[in-house]
Amino acid sequence: MVGVPAPQATATPPGVATTPVLSCVGLRKAYGSLVAVDGLSFQIAPGETYGLLGPNGAGKTTCISMVAGILWPDAGRVEIRGQPMGKGGVAVKRRIGYVPQEVAVYPDLTGRENLRFFAGLYGLTGSPASTRVAEVLDLIGLRERAGDRVAKYSGGMRRRLNIGIGLLHRPDLLILDEPTVGVDPQSRNAILASIEALSVHGMAVLYTTHYMEEAQRLCDRVGIIDKGRLIAEGTPRELTASVGERDRVRLTATGDIDAGARTLRTIAAVRQATPRPDGIDVLVDDARTALQRILDVAAGAGLRIRSVAVEEPDLEAVFLHLTGKSLRD
């Protein structure tokens, strides 16, 4: 593995002294000669949002199917709060909320009926179930439409219901398998905001996606998976720093561009300053701390700054660096 070394399978995630909510150790799953997941190990702490980032076919869904107890691994083990996921795994499964990639709801039932049905499977019945269903309907913003059949819901509403079902029994770990695939930008933003709120309540989240911007926004830590293997793990910042990617400050300016570039190179944080016909590209370790200094020095060199654009390296760049291919390949 390259990048930030992943924690050892038995170690506690950074900054956490309690038992991990999820611990995967050496997970392996093959379909014939195709190895979908190959020796995958990672842990998630309480309240942590962990992103499993990788292109389609990398093994993300196979991995979380094993975590959810839907698939049985060929090798390795899954532990939830220290309890192993057995083949029956009834008690362990109560601690998990699973939101599959598909909108896994019944269109000919109402939103409320869908929630009541799944609440019953998780042991919630009677008035506690009614109360919790009402809470979840509020949480996902579907209270007004709870009595309508899901077939009449918009795509975004179905997605929200899909997530709401996973939250019904207040799981320790919520597994979200690409929950924003095929969702319009507005609904997507609402979904991401609601997921951000979950960690506030101490719920651990395992989030798979191939959208690097979602991983960057939501995840405390990210594991990058390719061909069934975890090839890097860490915070988004750690990952981008580990592969030598730097922030890029694009100055659009008039004046003596070449002289300005030479002057900017004297700043300690600046790694490179490249003149362009209409300005200068500046590579810097951390644009947030160095930006003011860059602007001051440029002004001092007689440049008239027209615009400034800051581009931070992202996980896409990390993935490209590690595998030589794009996340969306």
Nearer to other proteins, 43 or 65 (CB): 65
- In whole angstroms, how close is the CB of 152 to other proteins at the nearest point? 13
CB of 94 to other proteins, least distance (A): 5
Least separation in angstroms between residue 255's CB and other proteins is 59
270-276 vs 279-284, strand pairing mode: antiparallel
- To other proteins, the closest distance from the beta carbon of 110 in angstroms equals 10
CA 313 to chain centre: 16
Question: Is the CB of 96 or the CB of 191 nearer to other proteins?
Answer: 96
Q: Least distance (Å) from other proteins to the CB of residue 68?
A: 4
Helix (H) or strand (E) holding 49: strand 49-53
Using the minimum distance from each CB to other proteins, give the nearer residue, 21 or 284: 21
Report the Cα 35 to chain-centroid distance in Å. Answer: 24
Q: Which is nearer to other proteins, 35 or 109 (CB)?
A: 109
* β-pairing verdict for 34-44 and 204-209: unpaired
| Exposure letters 71-108 (e unless 16+ CB within 10 A, then b) | bebeebbbbbbeeebeeebeebbebbbbbbbebbbeee
With respect to other proteins, which residue has the nearer C-beta, 99 or 192? 99
Which are the contacts of 324, defined by CB distance < 8 A and separation ≥ 6?
A: none
Residue 143 Cβ vs other proteins, minimum distance, rounded to whole Å: 22
- Give the nearer residue to other proteins in terms of CB position, either 175 or 298: 175
Residue 175 and residue 64 in contact, taking contact as beta carbons nearer than 8 Å: yes
User: How far is 10 from 138, CA to CA, in rounded Å?
Assistant: 39
Task: Report the nearest approach of other proteins to the CB of residue 205 (Å).
Answer: 16
The span from the CA of 273 to the CA of 263, in Å, is 9
CA distance 17 to 262: 49
| Shortest spacing between CB 210 and other proteins, in angstroms | 18
Nearer to other proteins, 71 or 243 (CB): 71
Where do contacts with other proteins occur on this chain (CB under 8 A)?
A: 65, 68-72, 87-94, 96, 98, 100-106, 108-109, 113, 117-118, 120-123, 165
**Residue 18: CA count within 13 A, CB half-sphere:** 11
Largest CA-CA distance found in the chain, in angstroms, rounded: 76
Our CB check for other proteins shows the closer of 104 and 308 to be 104
For 196, the 3-state DSSP assignment is: helix
